[in-house]
Amino acid sequence: MASRKASLPTTQLTSKTFLAKLFVFIQLLYLVLSEVIQAFSVPENAARMEEARESACNDMGKMLQLVLPVATQIQQEVIKAYGFNNEGEGVLKFARLVKMYETQDPEIAAMSIKLKSLLLPHLSTPPIGGAITAS
């Protein structure tokens, strides 16, 4: 019995330590996400994105060729300071982390939506009931 009582505080400490580390991790994720979002409003980055969007002319294929690489570079410039790989792989890992925690934290979810709105073109939706007719 004595050994069980002795191990109980260690288990509680481990849970507290885990929760403390998780809290710090989520706070760091907020920080990195906010810095990434802010990076898109830096005048030179905003100009780079605008130029890429104009060149793409709302063509989704061209968006992938022209806008996505610029957006990836902007994100890489921020996240490399936090230990992420300075290549496309780092941005993918960062995106996966955001995706994993956006369902658990409304602030991360809101920041994720804001980041996506900076990356994706503004698409208009067709009118309700508007059928496409065959020629």
pLDDT tens for each residue of 111-123: 999 999 888 766 5
Enclosing domain of residue 49: 25-119
Quick one: average pLDDT of 106-112?
94
Most confident stretch, 12-21, 36-45, 48-57, 92-101: 36-45
Is the pLDDT reported for residue 10 higher than 80? no
Is the pLDDT reported for residue 72 higher than 70? yes
- 106 found inside a domain: yes
Domain total for the chain? 1
- 38 found inside a domain: yes
- 111 found inside a domain: yes
Quick one: average pLDDT of 18-31?
87
C-alpha closest to that of 73 among 111, 98, 44, 113: 44
